[in-house]
Amino acid sequence: MRRHGFWQRALRHRSFMIGGVLTLALIVAAALSFVWTPWSPYDMDMANKLAGPSAKHWLGTDAFGRDVASLLLVGARASILVGIIAVGIGLVAGTALGLLAAARRGWVEEAIMRLTDFSLAFPAILLAIMLTAVFGAGIVNAIIAIGIYNIPIFARITRASANAVWSREYIAAAQACGKGPFAITVQHVLPNISAVLIVQITIRFAIAILAEAALSYLGLGTQPPQPSWGRMLSEAQTLMFQQPLLAVWPGAAIAMAVLGLNLMGDGLRDLLDPRLARAR
């Protein structure tokens, strides 16, 4: 009954529904590219390079004669791959550190928080540049850089939310019953902060897609011949006067993906907040 009530409220929540539709479109595009694309994204047709939208090439072709629609569909794979793995790294490692800090307190909490402060001084792009200098450019290094950047963010959010739960009376009751910190964390703390983490996952996923596009734009992310929205933008910047639509399509794809995930995150925050749920 409670789950049924959640979906009833979700269907009435405009932000969540719009974000859900845009996010679903991103997933469908990536999934569809595995079984079908209008043209091969790797085939070049120099005779039809920089062609405008037509029945043959729905969104036109790029400077190498590749079909833009096919490049966009396949490029969605890189965005989702980076988002899932990078956010997963941040979620697992950051949540574990945040829960440990809240459970142990004292010098353990202080050490973890100072470590996260130090990590936040190195944004994803700077980390990617450092990794590229040592190991070379590539999507793996981009994922690692974005994932490392997500760890302190999840750690701080988890620690703050967990500290609020540890101050509750039912936690004191659990301690009085003889439960240890690990059991309390798993059975009581983690379930009660899961809503906060779910919302943060959608927000960080959007930021990961944006970061991957920025790194690919700079040549530090996805490498040729694998399509990437960020690299499509980079290649289009020198062709703005000949074919401006080449920059419009990947830019619109990035904007719609990030907007959809942010709207869905805002909607989930409203739907999973018990105070707002009662108000609705």
Per-residue pLDDT band at 207 (split at 50, 70, 90): very high
| CA-wise closest residue to 64 among 217, 227, 263 | 227
6 vs 54 pLDDT, higher one: 54
| CA-wise closest residue to 170 among 159, 161, 179 | 179
The model's pTM: 0.91
Give pLDDT, residue 247.
94
* Identity of the residue numbered 158: T
106: left (phi over 0), alpha (psi -120 to 50) or beta: left
Q: Of the given ranges (44-53, 131-140, 166-175), which has the lowest mean pLDDT?
A: 131-140
Say what percent of the chain tops pLDDT 70.
96
In order of their start, the domains of the chain are: 61-272 (1.10.3720.10)
pLDDT at residue 107 is higher than 70: yes
How much is the mean pLDDT over the chain? 90
Say what percent of the chain tops pLDDT 90.
72
Q: How far apart are CA 27 and CA 19, in angstroms?
A: 12
Q: What is the mean pLDDT of residues 76-102?
A: 95
Tens digit of each residue's pLDDT (9 = 90 or more) over 89-100 = 999 999 999 999
Q: What is the mean pLDDT of residues 56-73?
A: 94
Give pLDDT, residue 2.
55
